[in-house]
Structure formats: C-alpha cells, structure tokens
Amino acid sequence: MTVFIVKRLLGIAVTLMLIITVVFFLVRVAPGGPFDQDRQVPAEVIAALDAKYHLDDSLPQQYLDFMGDLVLRGDLGPCFKYPGRTVNELIAQSLPVSMQLGVLAMLLALAIGIPLGIIGATRQNSWVDTLAMSVSMVGLSIPRFVLAPLLVLVFGIGLYWLPVARWETWRHMVLPIFCAALPTAAYVARLTRGGMLEVIHSDFIRTARAKGLSESRVILRHALRGGLLPVVSFLGPGFSGLLVGSLVIERIFNIPGMGRYFVEAAQNRDYNIVMGITLVYGTLLMVLNAVVDLAYAWLDPRVKLEEP
Amino acid sequence: MTSPAEPTPHRPQSRGSERAALVDAEAIGDLEQIGGGHSLWSDAFRRLKKNRAALVSAAILGAMLLGCIVVPELSQWDYAKADLELGPTPPSAGHWMGTDYLGRDLMVRVFFGGRISFAVGMIATLVSFVIGVTWGGIAGYFGKRIDGLMMRLVDVMYTFPFLIMVILLQVFFANKDGALHELFKSSIRPFVQDASAPSWFPIFQICFIFAALGSISWLTMARIVRGQVIALREQPFVEAARSIGVGHWAIVFRHLLPNSLGPIIVYTTLTIPAIMLTEAFLSFLGLGTQEPLASWGLLTAGGAETMAIYPWLLIFPALMLAITLFCFNFLGDGLRDALDPRMRKD
Amino acid sequence: MALLSVRNLQTHFFTEAGVVPAVDDVSFAVDRGEVLSIVGESGSGKSVACLSILGLVPDPPGRIVGGEILFRSQDGHEPEDLLEVSKRRLQQIRGDRIAMVFQDPMTSLNPYLTVGTQLVEVLAVHQGLTGTAARRQVVEMLGEVGLPAPERRLRDYPHQLSGGMCQRVMIAMALLCQPDVLIADEPTTALDVTIQAQILALIDERKRSMGLAVLLITHDLGVVAKMADRVAVMVAGQIVEQGSVDAVFRRPQHPYTVALQRSIPRIDDPPGRCALAAIEGLPPATGALPSGCPFHPRCDLAMPECAERRPADREFEMTLDGHITQHRVACHLEDLGGTEKRSTDSLDEEPAGG
C-alpha cells in the first residue's frame, strides 16, 4: 500500500505540473493583461506596471520565474488586482472558508442522501420510495441559483430565521450549506438506492436471511457494504461538483471563499490568482481521489490497488 | 454417475427468463397468449409503454419542443424588441407571462430561450456522444495498453473539475477580441452578408458552449461504452465476424456499438438535462448565453436577482427549466428500467 | 408425524405475463436421518418449494398463497405451521433448526466480509456465543467439513477460496447450530465432478452422525440414486410421483418418470444406438401451463381426459424385494405395466411409442 501512495503522489505532482503549465500559457496567450482592463489608465502606466511585475519578459522567462518561486519557496506571487496582497495570503484566508462549506455540505448530503436511498431500496415501490425518489428528482432539477434565492426568501426574509449573507456565526452557514448540499444529496440518494437494490437481490443476501438474521442486520451489516460502493466512487466527482457549485453559492451569499475570487480573477485577468486557485483545486481533488481509491479498496476486498 | 435428466431442447433455454418463456410459447404454438414479437427492443418498448410516468414525460417534452419552435413564430412580440417605457410588468392579457426590465415580452423570450436551451442540450450531448462512444469503443475493443492509456486519461479527467477549465476557456477565449472569434467570423463570412455584425457574437458564444460542454461530459459515456464493448467482444458472434475477415473498425461500429445501444441511450437521455443545467450555471456566472439572446439559464439567473420584486421573471423560466429537466430524468429512468430487466420494479 | 411436513403448498408468482403457479398443490414430508430428494427439470418449481419452507421466496413477485408447512422441532412440542408463525419465530428457526445450502457457493457468501465473520455471526445470533468460544467452535466445524487449515480460513475472503471450499464453508455455516433439517438446493451443480462426490459424501456423513433430515434438490438422477432414500418427481409445479428411490427407479408409475429414466444414456448401451431418447417438446412456459395434467402435451400415453382434468394423487403400497414402501402417483392411468423400466438384459426391446 505504501507503494501505491508514493506512486500516486508522484502522479499527482506530475499532473499538477502539467496543469499549471497549460494554464500558465493559456492565460498569457489570451488577449488582455491584468492592467489593460481599466480604460482610464494611460499606456505609460500600464507599461510601468507590466515591467514591475515582469509581465514584459519573454514567456519562457516568466514561466521559469514562476515555477522557481513556486517550487523553491511555495510562493504563488503577488495579486495584481489587490496591490500589497499575495496570492498565498488570499488563499490562506479563503481556502478554510471554502473547505468548511464544501466538507460540511458533503457530510450533510451524505447524511440526507444515504438514509433516503436505503429507505427507498428497502421499501421499493411503496409510497415512501416514490416520494423519496420524486423529491430527489426535484432536487436534481432545480439549479442552485434558483434554490438559493428561494430558500433565502422563505427562511431568511420571510421567516426571519436565518441571516442571509456573510459567514460569521454558525447561523450564517446553515442556508449556504443546505443549498450546496441538496442537489448532491439528491444524487447520493439515487445512487444509494440503485446500489442497494442491486445488492439486495443478490445470492448472499438470501443466504444471510436463511441464516436467520433480522432484516435490519441483513441490510446494515451485509447489504450496506456493497450497496454503498457507488457512493464511495462518487465522492471524488461529487466533491468536485460541490466545489464548482460553491462558485454560485459563494456569490449569492457573499461568502469570502475561494470560488468567489476565481471568476473575478479570471475576468480581471489576474493571472496569479487564477493559477493559485487552480492549483489548489487540482491538488485537493486529486488527493481526495487517491483517498477514495484507498477507501474503495478497503471496503471491497476483491479490488486490488492499482498503481497509477 | 452423472447424467443429464433434462431433455435435449430445440432451442437454448434460460432459467425462467421472460424471453425464454416467449420462445417456448412460440414453440408450443401459443402465440396469442403472450403476444407478438420477442426481441429485446419490442420487449423494452412494451415495458416502456406501461410506465406511465415515462410516457407522460415524453409527451410533455414533445409539447415543450413544439412550443419552443412554434410560439415565437406565432406571437406578435419579438424576443429582442425592447419597450423601455413599459418596463417590467406582471402577467396580463397582452403579455401572458409579463414583461422584463426592457419591456420585452417574457413569454416569447421564454419559448425562444427554450430553443437555445434545447439546442445547447442536444448538440452538446451529441458532441459528447460522438467523442465518448468513439473513445470508449476503441478503448474497449482494442484493450490492454490502448485501453489502459485511454481510460487512465479518463480517470484523471474525471475528478478534476473540468468546469473550471471551461470557465477559464470561456473567459479567455470566447470574447470579442479573441482569435477564436475572428476564426469564427471568417468561416461564416462566405455564408452571411455581414459577418462583423454584433449579433454574431452571441452565436459564436453559443457555439463555443456547445463544444466546451460537450467536451467535458463525454467521460462517463466513454466508460459506459467501454464496459459494454468489453462485455460483448468475447461473444461468439464477434469471433465469427472476425473469422470471416470483417475488419476491426467494422466490427466496432457495425456490430459492437449497435448492440450496446441500451445503456448508451439511457445515459444520453440523462446527459441532456445535466448539460442544460450546466449551461444555466454558466449563464448565471455571465459566461453562458449572452444578451440579447435568451436561454432558460440566462432568464432564470436574471430573474433570481429580483425575485422578491418581480417574481414572475423567475417563476416562468425556472418552471420551464425544472419541468423539462424533470421529464428528461423520468424518461431516462423509464428507459433504463425498460431496457434492463433486472432493474425492473415489478 | 414426520419432522417436516409440507401439505398442499401453493406458491404463486404474480408477473406481468400473468399469475404463475410455480408450486401448485405440493405435499411431501421428511423425517430424521432420511434423505428426500426432489427432482425435476429447470423451472419445475423444486427450488421455489424449498424456498417457501423458509419463507425466502422473493416477494414481489412471489407469494405463498396456500397450504401448511408443519415443523415439529425436536422437543416433541406441538408442530408449528411455518406459514403462520411470526417473523421473529421464523428468523429463530432459520439457520438454527432448519438450515439451507444453495447452489452457487461463490455468490452465496458475502464477498465483503471474511469467512470467519460470517460463520461466527450464526453462533452469535442463535446461541449468543461470541469471541474465542465462538471461533473455536467455528474452527472445529470447518475441520469437520474437511476444510484444510481451518484457523487460517477465518481471515480469508470468499473470493480467495475455491468453489469446493466455499461450499464446505456454506455447509459448515448450515450445520453450526446442529439443525434438525438441512435443505440443499442443487449443492453440487456448480462444482466439478470430483468435488461433487466429496461434497455429497460430506452431506451423507453428517446426516448419519447428526441424524439430520435432508431435503436434497437436484436434476441429476445419479445423485438421487447415490444419496436419497425417497424421491419426489416434479413437473411444472406439481409432484407427479413420490416414493422410495428403489421403487421409483425400478417400478416407475408415471410416464414422465419412465421417460426420464429412458432418456439417460447408459454406459452399456450398444454402440449402434446413438440417438438420445429425449422427452419430446419443452417444459411448459411460465404463464402458458397446459390444462389438466402438466405433462400431457409431451406424454406418449396421453388420453383425452389428461387434457381436461388434473389427475388426483393416488396413494398405495409398493412391495419390492420384500420391502413395503408408500408410493404416490398423479396420473389417470391405473397401471403402467408394459412400460416398466427395462432391466439391463433386455436392451433390444423397442419401447412402445418411442
């Protein structure tokens, strides 16, 4: 297993290098730089700023500088649009917020989706099942940016229960987390139901019943392990989807997370922020993927860990 | 001593499966009791017909599509014509769905937007279908190294939020001064009068979206196709085809893929709503459909901002979007149940 | 009264194509130290009948709609009707008093749990035994079923074992609580010939040492001849003939049984005789059961009334080599005299009607 981990980490490092390089050249090749966007600024000022940030160096030179800073000092460079701040600072501030949102939302999605899916599977075709699946279908069909204002209207403004912006107390977190979690919960419910259904009809479940085990023991001890495998596989792309969804959530609820900075930075051509955030997203997800693979191998003894 | 007590059958039997029963019934000459054909497709079709939710969904979708094509043509209002004095008004006799900030009739915009949403959904799905099927078909058929390499790539791409890349691409390349836009304009120049007219930019934007969205959603399709092809390529009929000299490409495209159509169709039906949702998401971020065009995503995003004051601006497009997504999902579910006997909810 | 007595059992499957009477008024019984074998073609309902005993028929689409299953557990109490007892009681009986072994050992064990966990579980649930004591008993049983290095096996997962080893584990699992009845549903069909013999020998030995009642389902007449004391022949959900193995094999009273025996190629058949004497036609399709006797479309000796009325069970005594056994047949024909199974010397006799 150590071999697996080491090989995986290496693979991740290589892929990240690749991604960084691609994005690096991508953003610089596109028209427009960080300082030409403001029409008020005269050309000499732009030139001076470009020179200060070495944006007038040749591309390969810029690349080497950037990679050098990154690898040797872990320095992602300065923010072009927020003078005086570095990308590292920005990320250090906003990443924990986004992670909180993401992790809590994922946990909530699992906590809602898995039981819902199990109930649907064990009471297949009953009214409970139909209700659960219809609700999850609705959850999948409403975009987060419709759900969010709706929830805000109902719970925030209408009922004065929960505040609707910023991120200070736990009360602030309820709506955004809920909003982020619901569509994912819907998907988890369907996955769980599908996985459980397939396991429930297999031979070894029949054996478990023939042994005289109670139904709850059959489901929880025997069926669940196999039935949840699709959900485990989904954790990787699921979390990735959550992060993407958080772009919307952070904007609507005015949460100072990474996502909010990302689109802005892209539109402002703030290269370093874009690179930094892309790097963080990429690392997060690839590490998560490796963990998921480990978890899957642990759950299903028939699976052998594959080296990347 | 072991000996088979089963009589030698005239046709292969499978334990209790419905299809075997139908074949047997035919042998005994009792056709009218079971009814007509017994291929996988007619079986599936019959099961689908019994699934009322799926049928209703299909009907609604058909009606939607028709509406989107027909309503903007029949309506007296133009989707882009602004009436600044009028401004936003709630639904009335003249404007069944009310008007938006620029005084444009919402109903026409909703149905016109439907055209774009459907088009994006279907074309991007087509793109993902073509890429995914080809990729998965090749990987599954040739196996070993090629398969390993191709699917490794898929695995790596699967967890990375390619939407992030799409956003980047969208922001950096789908803009007016970009090289791609120039490319687009020059390629349509032979066909249109004024290729530089500003109205071509939104269309360029949309074409970009087709390509971008299609190129990020082919991954699962490739996996599904690969799985199917791997299961099928060991079948005797493939060996038979190969032995009479049928080439590799012909085998993949004429034999293996048509037999894998079941899950492919199901997944395609489920991809369309996913893409429509993604387009809505991009429009919300300002990276999707642009004014003066409309799409359900753009309309919903716009309406969401002023939800409390002008609720109709959100409700109508959101409803159309939700109903369409809902129906596609139900239809996809129904198709899956109909085509996979094991998953049937009997 | 016998240990386990099934009377007029009816299990129907409610499908899209209609209601299928998979088990259609079936009665049989098995007693301690006795092996009753149920034979029939695929789809004859033998598996469903046994699943019905333990209430394991998948619902939907199956449901037990009639009959009674009387089980007299060894205490000599009043027999219980397994179709009427509470769910809790049924769970108590399953695995403890009546145990079942299934056809495909590789898929019948939970691939995600170790063998040890799955075995210890039985003891924990039924006898409250856990930890070292439980493990010790499990290891002992694994040894008794002939599994090499049983202590090491506890930590193995099913996919690490061969088919034969898995089936031994299944049998061990079934016998852990010293049940009264063992139901074995084609326990050797999925295994290769040499392993088959070993597994059957194991069952036989256990039967002797534990005084088990064994219900053995198979489609293989050879297995029946080797293992069973009594045999019941099933066609399309109905038992058409039932009696001692000797009687049924040597003096079959039902045309189906006769045809079944005749269809078995014998090693001493003359070389010129190469056509298999198969039973014409196919077993009835689900949902397309013939009226009257289920075998009549394929029966050489069918009479008009065979298509109209289902034959009633006829019970009588059969005397063979001085032994008297109970025999039961469901056929309109009173006496099959001329179609008695041929003995080994009269091979050149052409059977009437092919």
CB contact under 8 A, A211 and C125: yes
Report the pLDDT averaged over residues A111-115. 94
pLDDT of residue C274: 62
Burial of C64 (0-12, 13-18, 19+ CB in 10 A): buried
Name B271's Cβ contacts closer than 8 Å, sequence gap at least 6.
B125, B128, B129, B217, B221
Contacts by residues A66-75 (CB-CB < 8 Å, ≥ 24 positions apart): A66/A24, A66/A275, A67/A20, A70/A20
> What was the ipTM of the complex prediction?
0.83
The verdict on C58 touching A (C-beta cutoff 8 Å) is yes
The verdict on B322 touching A (C-beta cutoff 8 Å) is yes
The span from the CA of B231 to the CA of C14, in Å, is 32
Confidence band of A8 (pLDDT split at 50, 70, 90): confident
Candidate ranges B17-21, B241-245, B316-320; pick with highest mean pLDDT: B316-320
Nearest residue on chain B to C260, judged by CA atoms? B5
Tell me if C212 sits within 8 A of C138, measured CB to CB.
Answer: no
The answer on pLDDT for B49 being more than 90 is no
Candidate ranges A79-93, A160-174, C136-150; pick with highest mean pLDDT: C136-150
The verdict on C124 touching A (C-beta cutoff 8 Å) is no
What does the pLDDT look like over C37-84, one tens digit per residue?
999 888 788 899 999 999 999 877 888 998 999 998 766 678 888 888
The verdict on B63 touching C (C-beta cutoff 8 Å) is no
The answer on pLDDT for A58 being more than 80 is no
The span from the CA of C79 to the CA of A244, in Å, is 65
pLDDT of residue C102: 93
Report the pLDDT averaged over residues B169-179. 69
CB contact under 8 A, A210 and C56: yes
Share of chain C above pLDDT 90, in %: 34
Q: Tell me the CB-side half-sphere exposure of residue B303, using CA atoms within 13 A.
A: 31
Sheet holding C80-81, edge to edge: C18-30, C4-15, C62-71, C80-81
Nearest residue on chain A to C170, judged by CA atoms? A207
Confidence band of C99 (pLDDT split at 50, 70, 90): very high
Residue C27: closest CA among C335, C296, C333, C330: C330
The answer on pLDDT for A160 being more than 50 is no
Buried b (16+ CB within 10 A) or exposed e, A70-81: beeeeebbbbbb
CB contact under 8 A, C112 and A209: no
Residue A192: closest CA among A278, A264, A139, A116: A116
The verdict on B193 touching C (C-beta cutoff 8 Å) is no
The verdict on B320 touching A (C-beta cutoff 8 Å) is no
The verdict on A159 touching B (C-beta cutoff 8 Å) is no
Q: Could you please report the per-residue DSSP string of A185-201? A: HHHHHHHHHHHHHHHHT
Distances (CA, A) of C330 to C80, C189, C230: 28, 28, 17
Task: For residue B169, list chain A residues with Cβ-Cβ distance below 8 A.
Answer: 26
Q: Which chains touch B (3 or more CB pairs under 8 A)?
A: A, C
The verdict on C354 touching B (C-beta cutoff 8 Å) is no
Task: For residue B151, list chain A residues with Cβ-Cβ distance below 8 A.
Answer: none
Taking only residues 158 to 187 of chain C, the set having a beta carbon closer than 8 angstroms to any beta carbon of chain A reads 159, 170, 173
pLDDT of residue C273: 61
Which of C59, C282, C296, C299 to probe by mutation at the B interface, max B CB count within 10 Å?
Answer: C282
Task: For residue B156, list chain A residues with Cβ-Cβ distance below 8 A.
Answer: 15
The span from the CA of C243 to the CA of C258, in Å, is 14
The alpha carbon dihedral of A233, A236, A242, A245 has a sign of negative
What does the pLDDT look like over B215-257, one tens digit per residue?
778 888 888 888 778 777 777 877 888 788 877 777 777 777 7
What does the pLDDT look like over C248-278, one tens digit per residue?
888 888 888 888 887 777 777 677 666 666 7
Tell me the average pLDDT of chain A: 81
Tell me if C199 sits within 8 A of C164, measured CB to CB.
Answer: yes
Of C107, C113, C125, the CB nearest to A213: C125
Do you know the residue count of chain A? 308
CB contact under 8 A, A212 and C112: no
Tell me the average pLDDT of chain B: 74
Q: Tell me the CB-side half-sphere exposure of residue B46, using CA atoms within 13 A.
A: 13
- Residue B122 CB neighbour total at 10 angstroms: 18
The answer on pLDDT for C354 being more than 60 is no
User: In the block, which residue shows the tokens 């210890």?
Assistant: C120
Taking only residues 97 to 156 of chain A, the set having a beta carbon closer than 8 angstroms to any beta carbon of chain B reads 124-125, 137-138, 140-146, 148-150, 153
Task: For residue A211, list chain C residues with Cβ-Cβ distance below 8 A.
Answer: 94-95, 99, 121-122, 125, 173
Comparison of pLDDT for C181 and C189, the residue scoring more? C181
pLDDT of residue C38: 94
Of A203, A209, A221, the CB nearest to C104: A203
- Residue B75 CB neighbour total at 10 angstroms: 16
The span from the CA of C290 to the CA of C295, in Å, is 8
Of C94, C157, C159, the CB nearest to A210: C94
Torsion of CA B70, B72, B76, B82, to 10 degrees: 180
CB contact under 8 A, A225 and C113: yes
What does the pLDDT look like over B99-133, one tens digit per residue?
888 888 888 889 988 988 888 888 888 888 888 88
The verdict on A216 touching C (C-beta cutoff 8 Å) is no
Comparison of pLDDT for A216 and C61, the residue scoring more? A216
CB contact under 8 A, B318 and A142: yes
Q: Residue type for A124, please? A: Q
- Residue A227 CB neighbour total at 10 angstroms: 26
The answer on pLDDT for B27 being more than 70 is no
pLDDT of residue A189: 92
Buried b (16+ CB within 10 A) or exposed e, C244-256: bbbbbbebbbbbb
The verdict on C110 touching A (C-beta cutoff 8 Å) is yes
- The three-point CA angle C216-C218-C222 to 5° equals 100
Report the pLDDT averaged over residues A121-140. 84
CB contact under 8 A, C112 and A225: yes
Taking only residues 196 to 255 of chain C, the set having a beta carbon closer than 8 angstroms to any beta carbon of chain A reads none
The verdict on B272 touching A (C-beta cutoff 8 Å) is no
Tell me if A252 sits within 8 A of A148, measured CB to CB.
Answer: yes
What does the pLDDT look like over A193-202, one tens digit per residue?
888 988 888 8
The span from the CA of B160 to the CA of A288, in Å, is 10
User: In the block, which residue shows the tokens 């094509």?
Assistant: B69
CB contact under 8 A, B25 and C221: no
